[in-house]
Structure 1
């Protein structure tokens, strides 16, 4: 438990009263409702505690709609993940009567069609990243590009980057050096997205994707204690693809 000053959310901003105490939890949970509920019990979550998720609330797990509903009910904050973005892109295009700008998998289309309006509005309202100035931290789904101001970060990379290429440019590919290993700060970045590397602790970055949807673990980071707590997945919902994607 700790006192929170202000959380800033790009492109939205939220001011949090200094009179409130919050427990901060950061994790990635792609539709794994059973694991999420167990994790919240294990960290002794209580109504009023502040929960921050690192995106990808939907797709691949068995209960995407239930996860989004729970997140909204507990007044959690979340960054936008690449799978969240696919759902939003398809539903937004459908509502406008146009074709989505990218090919959207049928699973994401089904989620977009089935999601209640209130939950969809909550999902759309989630920003690319969240800053926590009191602890000099940034929360983001995938990563931060070094040398760019937060206001100039590219949304695609915020949701998709994993590594640095040989010339130091960010890329979505696996199998190269993690961008987080080279991140010099000054802020500490808390991120998800990179299941193939598992839980990561670098000098100035912490990666919390511990591959729950692939049969691994669902992990929370408790602040300011800087303690991680994990629960094991009940089963493998999807195999882990270790083939480097294009990008």
Structure 2
């Protein structure tokens, strides 16, 4: 009598083991094939090259996350140059008046222009009475954030357009232009409504994100602007090159206007990231952060040796007891010792990669900018930056930068840099007027009409 054997189904454990064996066999085949054909094993080569390399010295790629915004439509160029006829030189009677963040505060702006006796340029006329080029007078330059937060954004833009002013786009011009693009209906001039700009599918997806909705103050500001005013704002560059102003910033070449600032080391200026130029307040350096962690690990390991803790035991970072020991050893380290070990390990190339931030948590960009300019030779190749944006820092006069946001919309001051020609080149002076804080017209997602870091809870 034959014995019938019924085969049993393989267990889940058996199936997993079989899958692993098949995967290992396939991997071995691929490696053998690569070695026989002479094709380089890139992963193996990278591992061998960097296996003993600290993380801070390894390859590093910086990926920029997709911002909740469409492209900078309407901005013809990131960088523009001021007409040389507008620059003060002996004999032309010109002055440059560079004004900090106005934020819709028309009354302090008019008071400031009265205080400096602002002179409108005159136009020459030919023999037939036709108007020619402007001559004499002053030229007005805004560092951005002319609008939003304050009560009279439309009036400020009207005055800027009437006076033929130059300006750069600030983060508030940028957000209000985005708000206009995202609204289904916008008000233009005295008309009740006009169709909103045509937005493609990708931009509509971005503009419908939560970050772009629910902001009454921004919508009110967007509706207050006419189409002509919005077009004028959209055409502003992110960076304005004033050229060479000898004596304005001693020991420098050209002077630049940028709303938030510039990232050191990025040349030409047209390669600067517009987001950073409009929003940045500080810089972080990923390699330096890794280097600091290396310094802490080295000091912890040295302390472990001192207390005769096994290196093999300490290297098991996943063990809960080990984590407690490392935490205790780390807490016993002094900041002075950490800083000394960090500086010992630091390399000049650690600042080759910088990540701009709109917060104050990193290195102030002005500190990094000063250090970078001091390393530039000759002096004529150095660049000074006039900026706004950072009302928390307020007015700041440094060797290679000048901050003009003195918090007018917060009830502080509106400040201007006045540049005029003299026998040696140009001279400069700072003029300011007091401001009264306006009553909030509405609250945005980030506070009363703004998204600045100091406005956030």
For the aligned pair, the TM-score class normalised by the smaller chain equals 0.7 to 0.9
**C-alpha spacing 1:23/1:163, structure 2 compared with 1 (3 Å):** same
TM superposition outliers: structure 1 runs of 4+ over 6 Å: 238-242
**Are the counterparts in 1 of residues 81 and 243 from structure 2 also a CA contact under 8 Å?**
no
Tell whether 2:226 aligns with 1:153. no
Q: Residue deviations 1:5-44, cap 9 Å, x none?
A: xxxx744455343785432122220001110000001111
Q: State the 1:134 CA deviation.
A: 1.9
Pick the structure with greater CA Rg.
2
Please report the RMSD computed on the Cα atoms of aligned residues, expressed in angstroms: 2.6
SS at match of 2:197: helix
Q: Residue deviations 1:53-112, cap 9 Å, x none?
A: 000111101111111111111110110000100111222344115636351532222222
**Are the counterparts in 2 of residues 143 and 191 from structure 1 also a CA contact under 8 Å?**
yes
Out of 426, 431, 434, the residue aligned to residue 229 of structure 1 is 431
**C-alpha spacing 1:33/1:218, structure 2 compared with 1 (3 Å):** same
**Quick one: distance in 1 between partners of 2:219 and 2:92?**
39
Question: Could you tell me which residue of structure 1 aligns to residue 70 of structure 2?
Answer: none
**Are the counterparts in 1 of residues 153 and 224 from structure 2 also a CA contact under 8 Å?**
no
Question: Could you tell me which residue of structure 1 aligns to residue 226 of structure 2?
Answer: 116
Question: Could you tell me which residue of structure 2 aligns to residue 141 of structure 1?
Answer: 259
**Quick one: distance in 2 between partners of 1:57 and 1:156?**
17
TM-score between the two structures when normalised by the length of structure 1: 0.86
Tell whether 2:292 aligns with 1:182. no
Aligned length: 238
Tell whether 2:254 aligns with 1:165. no
**Quick one: distance in 2 between partners of 1:41 and 1:176?**
39
**Quick one: distance in 2 between partners of 1:57 and 1:244?**
17
**Quick one: distance in 2 between partners of 1:86 and 1:242?**
15
SS at match of 1:196: coil
Unmatched segments (≥5 aa) in structure 2: 1-76, 122-137, 183-195, 246-253, 289-353, 374-381, 420-425, 441-447
SS at match of 1:151: helix
Q: Residue deviations 1:148-167, cap 9 Å, x none?
A: 01111001100000012254
Out of 198, 205, 227, the residue aligned to residue 96 of structure 1 is 198
**C-alpha spacing 1:40/1:243, structure 2 compared with 1 (3 Å):** closer
TM-score between the two structures when normalised by the length of structure 2: 0.48
SS at match of 1:229: strand
